[in-house]
Structure 1
Amino acid sequence: MTPQLIVVRGNSGSGKSSVVEGIRGQYGHGIAYIEQDYVRRTVFQELAEPDGANIELIGQMARYALARGFHAVVEGILPTVRYGGMLAELARDHGGHFYYLDIPFEETVRRHATRDKASAFTAEDMADWYRPRDLLERPRETIIDESSSLDATVQQILTETGLGPVW
């Protein structure tokens, strides 16, 4: 199977990392997980900068994973204003499947409170970061709202990308 590019975007607390973990758990070996927060915060210790070093590296990591035969899943808030150009280039060169988890702010706060890293930042921090429907112009994204359960979202992505379904 041709390696697939999958991008999962959404606000903090929208369930992005849970979705990617679900995809990996269902699919198994062969998925490269490229997490924006890890590259930005851990690798570079960057704040959210307009031309941050993490942006280009995320694109390069996805390209490398695809070239090596891995399916590449890029996950993060990935605000359009900073990451839109890089994501458009990836889509132009590799196609891909782009998903936006469109979850209301109140629900993201509720979900965040249940996470292990709940004390890492506050609801006030989340409010500062929250951008409703920060959709890309190109490529078009499949919007998944709060009515889709985690399992349903994972199955939808596996099916639409040709990596599943795994029932």
Structure 2
Amino acid sequence: MYAKLIIIRGNSSSGKTSLAMALKEQWGNTLVVSQDAVRREIIGCSDTKKNPAIEMIESLVSEAITKNDYVILEGILKRSTYYQMIERLMELYAPRSALYYLSVSFETTKCRHLEGLRVNEFSIEQMEQWWIAEDLLDYKSEMLVDGEVEQTDLIEQVMNYIKDN
């Protein structure tokens, strides 16, 4: 039996990584695949269409799905670049998959960035250039989630959905 696949998307500083790590802590046998880690740290490529990270992310998820109880893919995963990969993963691992988009305002994104660990990696101006409001995939099962709620509420919401489906 395959693991459950959870894909968490959203703008920078929307809480994707925090949610993924909190879920991993709750569930145990969980692998988190981070778009940033694969694209920036492992491959070192720009976030453009047909970048080599797309294939590697898809391969990592597909391999991990056979060895874990849960696999979480998290990242900005913008529609224009990652839609086809996400669609393939969702179809391949349905019905054991869930797709979330964490929605936060740019003001919240900015405040979280200034308080975060990566504050020196990029500027607010750079972040504003790649920030896309509500970059939804229009995929049938994508769930829009208010990323401005308390993290404990967000964790509970995701865990309840996964448990019930």
| Interval containing the TM-score (normalised by the shorter chain) | over 0.9
Q: Normalization by structure 2: what TM-score? A: 0.93
Q: Which amino acid aligns with 1:121?
A: F
Preserved CA contact (<8 Å) 1:91 1:139:
no
Q: Which amino acid aligns with 1:60?
A: S
Counterpart in the other structure of 1:7: 7
- Equivalent-residue separation in structure 2 for 1:155 and 1:49 (angstroms): 34
Q: Which runs of 5+ in 1 are unaligned?
A: none
What is the aligned-residue RMSD (CA, Å)?
1.5
Counterpart in the other structure of 1:54: 53
- Equivalent-residue separation in structure 2 for 1:139 and 1:18 (angstroms): 25
- 1:89-100 correspondence to structure 2 within 5 Å: 89-95=88-94, 96-100=97-101
> 1:139 and 1:35, CA in 2 relative to 1: closer, same or farther beyond 3 A?
farther
Q: What is the Cα deviation at residue 139 of structure 1?
A: 4.2
Counterpart in the other structure of 1:141: 142
After TM superposition, what 4+ stretches of structure 1 lie above 6 angstroms from structure 2? none
Counterpart in the other structure of 2:83: 84
Q: What is the Cα deviation at residue 2 of structure 1?
A: 4.9
Q: Which amino acid aligns with 1:88?
A: E
Counterpart in the other structure of 2:16: 16
Over the matched positions of the two proteins, sequence identity in percent amounts to 29
Q: Which runs of 5+ in 2 are unaligned?
A: none
C-alpha distance after superposition, 1:113-139 (max 9, x if no partner): 111111111111110010011111224
C-alpha distance after superposition, 1:39-79 (max 9, x if no partner): 00011100112100101111111111112234110000000
